[in-house]
Amino acid sequence: MRNKLIAGFMTGVFLILTGCASGPKFAEFQSELAPVTENNGRIYVYRNSAFGAAIQPAVRLNDEVVGKAKPKGFFVIDRPAGNYVISASTEAKRSLSLALANGEEKYVRLEIKIGLLAGHIKPVLVEPDIGKEEIKKTKYIGEE
């Protein structure tokens, strides 16, 4: 019985570790990232928690898949000024509406919430100073 518990625990640890982002850390990636152009704004989307690591739905910007809600990961979206909706779906769809101006940078944290059958990913707009600090602990997961 004890061996089964240990094996189950180790399997869970393995799944959590392999489910987390594995790219370059934010500081490394940022040094290579071109500044946002004057005709675009930039949205940093990140998930700074490993809680609910198995829940990794697609993240959409106005219904276009732009990334994945990968634990401890981030990705970057450059778009022209305008109004956008960021969403993620499991058993329920959670959305965030935001306005983006030319040259502006926004930070969207993907939070995991408890659901009836599965966790939900909820996009939350955070203040730039908070986003800049939290995203430092994440790794680049690429573009969809």
Structural domain tally of the chain? Answer: 1
> Which domain covers residue 14, as residue numbers?
2-140
pTM for the whole thing?
0.82
pLDDT in tens, the chain (144 residues): 544 444 344 434 444 444 555 677 888 888 888 999 989 999 999 999 888 888 899 999 999 999 999 999 999 999 999 999 999 988 778 899 999 999 999 999 999 887 666 678 999 999 999 999 999 999 999 765
Q: What 3-state DSSP class applies to 132?
A: helix
Residue that has been written with the tokens 């990140």 in this structure:
46
Closest of 29, 96, 87, 31 to residue 59, by C-alpha: 87
